[in-house]
A = this chain, B = another copy of it.
Amino acid sequence: MEKINLEQKFSLFDDYWSPKIVGELNDVHVKLAKLKGEFIWHHHENEDELFMVVKGNLLIKFRDQDIQLREGEFLIVPKGIEHKPIAEEEVHLILIEPKSTLNTGNVQDERTTQGEWI
């Protein structure tokens, strides 16, 4: 059992769109990600996904609306809902999601990952 310092963990990686696992509780992973640029449209068949912004502004596009998340805000995207994250400037993000979650959801591409522990 060890406490996690978010700032220290964010200092350990620089790659974008590649979530790192920093904790697990029951069936859930806590991940950190750095985002910059545009991600792909995707959805998760079975997993709800929590996005919490700790630095920057994250735009999440949906088919029927856009939602802008700022520092200290979070959004839970329910399973099945298509979304496309966009970070004009670098964003630091906490993700809470079931362990089975792939970052690209129903799509497989060169960025697809379930996350690695740091």
A residues with a Cβ closer than 8 A to B are 1-7, 23-28, 30, 47-50, 62, 67, 69, 72-78, 81, 96-98
Q: How far is the CB of A44 from chain B (nearest CB, A)?
A: 10
B74 and A3 contact, CB distance less than 8 A = yes
A78: which B residues are within 8 A, CB to CB?
Answer: 1
A75 and B4 contact, CB distance less than 8 A = yes
B28 and A74 contact, CB distance less than 8 A = no
Q: Which of B3, B50, B62, B73 contacts A30 (CB 8 A)?
A: B50
B76 and A25 contact, CB distance less than 8 A = yes
Question: Which partner residue on chain B sits nearest A74 by CB separation?
Answer: B4
Q: A97 with B6: in contact, given A1-B77, A1-B78, A30-B50 (CB under 8 Å)?
A: no
